[in-house]
Structure 1
Amino acid sequence: MNLSITLTVNGRERMLALPDPRVTLLDLLRDRLDLTGTKKGCDRGHCGACTILVDGRRTNSCLALAISHDGADILTIEGVAHGDTLDPVQAAFIAHDGFQCGYCTPGQIMSAIGLIREGQAGTDPERVREGMSGNLCRCGAYAGITEAVLEAQRALDAAEQEQAA
């Protein structure tokens, strides 16, 4: 028995048949849609490597059943850049060496984007660290990650003020 769902993934509507109601969003993205930027880390919701945005909210895709998200709008790391132009968060991660091995980086970037969009990043490094605490980095690139989030927040604030003027 196949179950049908419709998802908007990175701006593109996708109609999918699920052979099993236990398929997670992580496995659907990686195995069925070939969007392998979202990483499988712990597969238990502890590390944040699988973080995506579902209807604008940060979600550990390894814990989210695909069937429960019929009609959802999903943003993965593959949908963040605008053509050849990096998102300010991606650019800040590069500028501040917010990664080492890079395995956690897609989840870190998605969590940072969510944190900023939620209005929770602010300008305090401790607040950023707390907001990003669900994303683990085995290499310990936390200082660069924190600086990247703060820089991206500043860049987005400046762009918003420029548009308002």
Structure 2
Amino acid sequence: MTSWAIHEVAAACCLTEHEISAWISRGHFKPSVAVRPGQRRQFDWRDLTCLAVMNALRKHSLLIHGMAPIITDLRADLAGMNDISEISGRTFFFADWGKNQPSQTVGLVTESDLVAVLRQRPKTVIIVDVAAVYRDAASAIPAGTTTGGAAQ
């Protein structure tokens, strides 16, 4: 499986290594691959995807405390997938229903499911094209810097 070092994913996602390390140590972001003492942490395509989405959400003024549960839900959706190609035709959304419904809705859904959500008129909705933000981040990583095989 392809993996990258922290400096590669940080640069690709327009984040700093310090931000990613702080998010990990505070429990806001959980990488897919556990690190052993004396080894450098490696990030897989799911991590790159989640960090790219975190950067996209940050552009909507979401704070890390608000992003962490959203990314946890995205990671759960990605857990059963073998590679990014399985996301094709799906969009990730966050919907806040205001006073009508106290909880928020998050998911990786098809276009028809997204239309159904929008018809319910959420107070706030943020939509992220996960495949596009992944492709942008992956293309920002120089060729030949991957570990463990070709990039997906």
- TM-score scaled to structure 1, two decimals? 0.31
More helix by share: 2
Structure with more contact order per residue of length (Cα contacts < 8 Å, sep ≥ 6) = 2
